[in-house]
Every structure is written in C-alpha cells, then in structure tokens.
Chains A and B, each alone.
Chain A
Amino acid sequence: GIQVEQSPPDLILQEGANSTLRCNFSDSVNNLQWFHQNPWGQLINLFYIPSGTKQNGRLSATTVATERYSLLYISSSQTTDSGVYFCAVPDNYGQNFVFGPGTRLSVLP
C-alpha cells in the first residue's frame, strides 16, 4: 500500500521563528490533507491540497503531486501552533486515508 513519511519527526522553535514541514508519499495521489492535532487531541483541518499552493494566514502549503511531496510552511510561529501535524493521503483504492507518522512541534515562548 501507499507509504507516507513526514519530516522532521520533532521540531522545537522559539516563538516568532519560521518552519517547514515535509510530507513524502510513495504513489501518485489526487487528494492530500494537512491536519493539526492540538494538545487536547482534537484534529483541525488545515489544508485540502491535492496540488498547487494555498495560504491561510501564517500558514501555507504546497503540493507537488508529480514529485510526490507536500510542504507545510508556518511563519511567525506562536505557542498555540504547538501540537502534532499530520498529512494524509488516500490509499491505493481511493477509499480510505493513510496518515503519516506526524511532526511534533513545540513552540517555546
């Protein structure tokens, strides 16, 4: 089945710093999502981005489907950005989503 990798696994930032999170996937996809899981466990949709670039405030994402990767950019990080960031893509049958292992972000005041 499709494999999803994320890097880095852990990231510690000072408040105000910028960061880039990466998601690699092993097969072509027509759908990709980024999620933020806050410290209380809730999963928040960040981007639905099968291709191209999208921006939402301090966050933006780019997916290059032909090269099988997606990037999530966080600018001017805040302590509320802390948590785990997951990317997810459909499995080979297009029925279910496969999640990457996540990047755990800690933003220090």
Chain B
Amino acid sequence: SAVISQKPSRDICQRGTSLTIQCQVDSQVTMMFWYRQQPGQSLTLIATANQGSEATYESGFVIDKFPISRPNLTFSTLTVSNMSPEDSSIYLCSVDSANTGELFFGEGSRLTVL
C-alpha cells in the first residue's frame, strides 16, 4: 500500500485568497488524483495529474480555479484559487496501485473559507 502525506491538514482561509495543498507519496506513481468532498457529500473527482503533462479535469472543474502541478512521480499540488465559502470542503489526494488498481488516500485537507 502507498503512504500519502498531505499538507495542510486543515486551514481557515479568507474569501478571495488562494491556498495550495501538497501531496507527497512514498513511491513513484504514474497518476495522482485530486478529490473534493463538500460537507455531508460524497467524493467527487476534480482532476487526474500525470507527471510531465497537463492535468485532466472532470466536468465542472477548470484549471483556472484548481491549478495542479505534478513536477515528479512522487509529488503534486492542488491550488484552490480565489476562494469563496462554497469552496469549504475536504480535499483529498489519492493514488492507485499499479498492480491491483486499489485506491489509497491521504489524510485530507479540510478547508474552511470565511
């Protein structure tokens, strides 16, 4: 199984600011996934980040709002830009096992936007 570390674990942010979430994996992985979980809701995929190429965004999510970096095979960042209270969510980084396809998650970053 993969060990995934996310920072920050939680933050309180002001409206209009931006915050970058970091995700570090203990092994090299091809794809990293970013999910959003709004309060009381299930998980929704924001984008898939491949090393060396642009991230692939799901319907309803755009690069200007959620820019993603993937500088190497063990690290990725997600920025939540120009935040509003509607962006208050848990943001989760995940990877899948190359052998089985099993999905593993970081601890999540709980953002509250005032």
Contact = CB atoms under 8 A, between A and B. Distances in A.
Secondary structure of the A contact surface, majority rule:
strand
Contact of B45 (A31, A42, A96, A101): A96
Secondary structure of the B contact surface, majority rule:
strand
A41 B37 CA distance: 10
Given A45-B1, A99-B42, A90 B33 contact: no
Interface residues of A, number: 18
A42 B1 CA distance: 16
B12 interface: no
B92 interface: yes
A95 B48 contact: yes
Contacts of B7: none
Given A101-B42, A102-B42, A41 B108 contact: yes
Given A45-B103, A86-B42, A96-B33, 15 more contacts: A33-B102, A35-B105, A42-B108, A43-B108, A45-B105, A48-B100, A86-B43, A88-B43, A88-B103, A95-B48, A96-B58, A97-B103, A100-B42, A101-B42, A102-B42
Interface of B: 1, 33, 37, 41-45, 48, 58, 90, 92, 100-105, 107-108, 110
| Minimum-distance CB pairs A-B, first 7 | A43-B105, A48-B102, A99-B43, A99-B42, A41-B108, A101-B42, A41-B90
